[in-house]
């Protein structure tokens, strides 16, 4: 196993935005897994500590964060997930954070975000970046296997509850969260190789995804579906001699095709005219496929569902909302929760605050729900175009709170990569 001197050398190397070798990454992930397996679903954290939100592969902004907040181990850090995807340097970003965790295990806490997932990283950039930088998917596998071991939440001095997303209707207490089996891929919404099915009465449609229910027009189906899902295009047509059918059809014989966030934005009519649609296959690669092949689907057809529910999923995906009670999340996973829910959760568990990330906020942080909840977002100028500030939350020795805002680091030369990831900001 590498010594502290080896780790210091690797960290110095990474701070210059230079990736480690594949063998070094594998050893580092093995070391990190041995540490993380001993940590709790609700990991206790002592103050003082600095709490950080999404990073999303924006490596130079992470370095700016350390410049503003202080370098480890002089400053204790708690990161609330989403280290990869979107930005150009997911590999260097997550490797540096994991190396810091291994080197300073009691001073760095890294939680799991909804992007620390096999499915999501195959679409939003991390998988392709690993292929580009290492020539194979081994490093991607090392990290995604490690992600299964990341704690779901943290608790600062029994008072401030930290997590990536939000609350769950299945979890009333911290003990409920502690009892979860977290060593698994979260059952969150994601991408399957081909999402398609031939409608029939025998198929049970998930209640949150009500496409293909009964006889309905395409207009109404689109309206209903877009309220529950973030797929950019929805094609529900039966090919009739190369032209569009009448507006209404029976769902018993209508194939369903989902074209998830295609940059080409292929329309229904043009797809039908050429008898092809664009689909996501494998590692989020856009490929064309004949409609007849999609009708048959895999293994002779049938629904290929993507699980999108469960308490672990909720912790990574849910969002606070101005409306009271629980609501259906427009993300297609998790829930929205109102001030009444957050207030009751804090009261039940003796908490003063819920600190979470997961949502872009233009000032870098945002109080909501009568200051029961605060959102912290630490990726300035998100996706290199949103123009937002970033922030980190300092919790002092006496639990005093102080936000530090910062702008993007000076723009570096961007890698020559085609940006093919979907526009939806997960």
pLDDT of residue 164: 98
What pLDDT does residue 308 have? 52
- Same domain for 245 and 374? no
The predicted-structure confidence for 273-305, as pLDDT tens digits, reads as follows 444 433 333 333 334 444 444 333 333 333 222
The domain that contains 62 carries what CATH number? 3.60.21.10
Query: Three-state DSSP class for 78?
Result: strand
Average confidence score pLDDT of the chain: 77
pLDDT of residue 2: 80
Please tell me the total count of domains within the chain. 2
Any idea which of 65-69, 106-110, 120-124 has the lowest mean pLDDT?
Answer: 120-124
265 or 382, which is more confident: 382
Tell me what the mean pLDDT of segment 383-395 comes to. 96
**175 shares a domain with 32:** yes
Q: Tokens 């009751």 — which residue?
A: 344
* CB 281, CB 294: distance < 8 Å: no
Domain boundary among 251, 277, 300: 300
Residues 401 and 294 grouped into a single domain: no
Query: Which pLDDT band, with edges at 50, 70 and 90, does 186 fall under?
Result: low
Rounded CA separation 364/356 (Å): 12
Average pLDDT over residues 240-246: 38
Region 132-144: what's the mean pLDDT? 97
The pLDDT value given to residue 185: 74
Q: Of 300, 332, 365, which closes a domain?
A: 300
> In this predicted structure, what is the pLDDT of residue 413?
65
Q: What is the torsion angle, in degrees rounded to the nearest 10, for the CA atoms of residue 18, residue 24, residue 26 and residue 30?
A: -110
| Residue 115 a catalytic site member | yes
- Tokens representing 148 are 């299964």
Is residue 416 a part of any domain in this protein? no
Q: If pLDDT is split at 50, 70 and 90, which confidence band does 184 have?
A: confident
Do both 203 and 174 map to the same domain?
A: no
Q: Which of 253, 270, 300 is the last residue of a domain?
A: 300
Identify whether 414 is part of a domain: no
Q: Which of 13, 56, 115, 358 is an active site residue?
A: 115
pLDDT tens digit sequence for 204-240 = 223 333 333 322 233 333 333 333 332 222 333 333 3
pLDDT at 21 over 70: yes
Query: pLDDT tens for residues 88-104?
Result: 999 999 999 999 999 99
Tell me the average pLDDT across 69-84.
Answer: 98
- For 37-57, the pLDDT digits (tens) are 999 999 999 999 999 999 999
Residue 347: inside a domain:
yes
123 is in which domain, residue-wise? 4-184+308-406
How far, in whole angstroms, is CA 368 from its chain's centroid? 22
Claim to verify: residue 358 and residue 249 sit in the same structural domain: no
Contact call for residues 160 and 353 (beta carbons, < 8 A):
yes
145 and 164 assigned to the same domain: yes
Nearest Cα to Cα of residue 311 among 154, 192, 179, 208? 179
> Of the candidates 87, 86, 96, 72, which has an alpha carbon nearest to the alpha carbon of residue 16?
96
Tell me, what's the pLDDT at 353? Answer: 98
Residues 205 and 140 in one domain: no
Kindly tell me if the per-residue pLDDT of 394 is higher than 70: yes
- Residue bearing tokens 């009261």: 347
User: Cβ(316)–Cβ(147) under 8 Å?
Assistant: no
Mean pLDDT along residues 384-405: 97
| Residue whose structure tokens are 């449609």 | 205
**Claim to verify: residue 321 and residue 380 sit in the same structural domain:** yes
**pTM for this prediction:** 0.73
Q: What is the DSSP letter of 382?
A: G
């Amino acid at each position: 196993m590498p010594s502290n001197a080896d780790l210091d050398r690797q960290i110095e190397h990474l701070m210059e935005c230079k990736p480690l070798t594949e063998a070094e990454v594998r050893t580092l992930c093995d070391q990190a897994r041995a540490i993380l397996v001993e940590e709790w679903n609700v990991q206790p954290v002592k103050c003082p500590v600095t709490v950080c939100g999404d990073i999303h592969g924006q490596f130079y902004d992470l370095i700016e964060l350390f410049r503003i907040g202080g370098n480890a181990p002089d400053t204790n850090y708690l990161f609330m997930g989403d280290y990869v995807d979107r930005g150009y340097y997911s590999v260097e970003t997550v490797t540096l954070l994991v190396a810091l965790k291994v080197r300073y295990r009691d001073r760095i806490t890294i939680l799991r975000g909804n992007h620390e997932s096999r499915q999501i990283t195959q679409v939003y950039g991390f998988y392709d970046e690993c292929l580009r930088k290492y020539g194979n998917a081994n490093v991607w596998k090392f990290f995604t296997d490690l992600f299964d071991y990341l704690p779901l939440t943290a608790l600062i001095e029994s008072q401030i509850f930290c997590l990536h997303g939000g609350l769950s209707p299945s979890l009333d207490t911290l003990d409920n969260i502690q009892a979860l089996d977290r060593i698994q891929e979260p059952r969150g919404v994601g991408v399957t190789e081909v999402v398609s099915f031939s409608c029939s009465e025998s198929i049970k449609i998930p209640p949150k995804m009500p496409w293909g229910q009964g006889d309905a027009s395409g207009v109404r189906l689109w309206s209903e579906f877009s309220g529950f899902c973030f797929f950019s295009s929805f094609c529900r047509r039966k090919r009739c001699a190369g032209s569009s059918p009448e507006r209404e059809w029976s769902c018993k014989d209508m194939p369903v095709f989902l074209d998830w966030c295609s940059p080409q934005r292929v329309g229904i009519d043009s797809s039908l005219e050429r008898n092809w649609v664009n689909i996501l296959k494998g590692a989020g690669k856009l490929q064309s496929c004949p409609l007849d092949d999609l009708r048959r689907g895999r293994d002779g057809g049938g629904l290929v569902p993507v699980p999108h529910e469960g308490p672990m999923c909720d912790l990574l995906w849910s969002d606070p909302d101005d409306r009271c009670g629980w609501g259906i999340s427009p993300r297609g996973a998790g829930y929205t929760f109102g001030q009444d829910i957050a207030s009751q959760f804090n009261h039940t568990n003796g908490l003063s605050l819920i600190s979470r990330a997961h949502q872009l906020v233009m000032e870098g942080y945002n109080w909501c729900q009568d200051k029961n909840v605060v959102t912290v977002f630490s990726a300035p100028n998100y996706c290199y175009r949103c123009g937002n500030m970033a922030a980190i939350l300092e919790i002092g020795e006496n639990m005093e709170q102080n936000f530090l805002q910062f702008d993007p680091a000076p723009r570096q030369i961007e890698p020559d990569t085609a940006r093919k990831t979907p526009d939806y900001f997960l």
